[in-house]
A and B are shown apart, each in its own frame.
Chain A
Amino acid sequence: SQQGEEDPQALSIQEGENATMNCSYKTSINNLQWYRQNSGRGLVHLILIRSNEREKHSGRLRVTLDTSKKSSSLLITASRAADTASYFCATDGGSNYKLTFGKGTLLTVNP
């Protein structure tokens, strides 16, 4: 079952602005991952944050994790038109490394 819920469902910004997407989940996790998917394409892994980490950076990406609130956020700074895609969070909470995906946020960056 889908336990991740992203908000907003859709976000439209101008190039150069920052984009923040949030993800909430319901059960305990080992780690939380963020993926990007361009329309009709496969998934691109962006970043993984473990349950004992609170913040992680990778280039223009910053991810936070609050296990007490069971939530995470993905910040993309200085957005570019090429960042236009759907973004999904996915939680790994059990054995066998199964991922449960959220519903995703469709980000549109206007040039």
Chain B
Amino acid sequence: GAVVSQHPSWVICKSGTSVKIECRSLDFQATTMFWYRQFPKQSLMLMATSNEGSKATYEQGVEKDKFLINHASLTLSTLTVTSAHPEDSSFYICSGNPGGPDTQYFGPGTRLTVL
């Protein structure tokens, strides 16, 4: 099946710093990628939809200036958490869609801890 990787798998950073998370589709071209956030013992909340070559579409309540998304190629999307704070500590998961209404392929997630 299709594989999506994320890097890093976990990261610890100091408050006020920025962190970049990469999401790669390894064996398919993802015209659309999605970024989700999951707090402990909660469900996945969609943060934004990333389309290759265009600006990301953010869900209501998600600050676009804080969570910068770049989808520069059909196999790579990045999420940068700018000026991270402890409340940004979460599990961030991306997914890629090769086109069509069927299954999205999810990455393994990145655990961010902000001290």
Residues of A at the B interface (CB closer than 8 Å) are 1-2, 30-31, 33, 35, 40-43, 45, 48, 88, 92, 96-104
Q: Find out whether the CB atom of A33 lies under 8 angstroms from the CB atom of B103.
A: yes
Nearest residue (CB) in A for B109 is A42
Would you call the interface of chain B mostly helix, strand, loop, or mixed? strand
Give the number of A-B contacts (CB < 8 Å).
56
Decide yes or no: A99 and B42 within 8 Å by CB, A31-B101, A42-B106, A45-B106 being known contacts. Answer: no
| Distance in angstroms between the alpha carbons of A1 and B111 in the assembled complex | 22
Task: Give the total of B residues in contact with A, Cβ under 8 Å.
Answer: 26
Cβ of B46 within 8 Å of any chain A Cβ, yes or no, is yes
Contact of B42 among A31, A42, A103 (CB under 8 A): A103
Nearest residue (CB) in A for B40 is A40
Q: Mark B57-94, 1 if CB is under 8 A from A, else 0.
A: 10010000000000000000000000000000001010
Contact of B104 among A2, A97, A104 (CB under 8 A): A97
Q: Find out whether the CB atom of B43 lies under 8 angstroms from the CB atom of A43.
A: no
Contact of B32 among A30, A33, A97 (CB under 8 A): A97
Decide yes or no: A42 and B93 within 8 Å by CB, A2-B43, A99-B104 being known contacts. Answer: yes
Shortest B40–chain A CB gap in Å is 9
Contacts of B106 in A (CB 8 A): 35, 42-43, 45
| Distance in angstroms between the alpha carbons of A35 and B93 in the assembled complex | 14
Q: Find out whether the CB atom of B43 lies under 8 angstroms from the CB atom of A102.
A: yes
Cβ of B25 within 8 Å of any chain A Cβ, yes or no, is no
| Distance in angstroms between the alpha carbons of A24 and B105 in the assembled complex | 23
Shortest B78–chain A CB gap in Å is 18
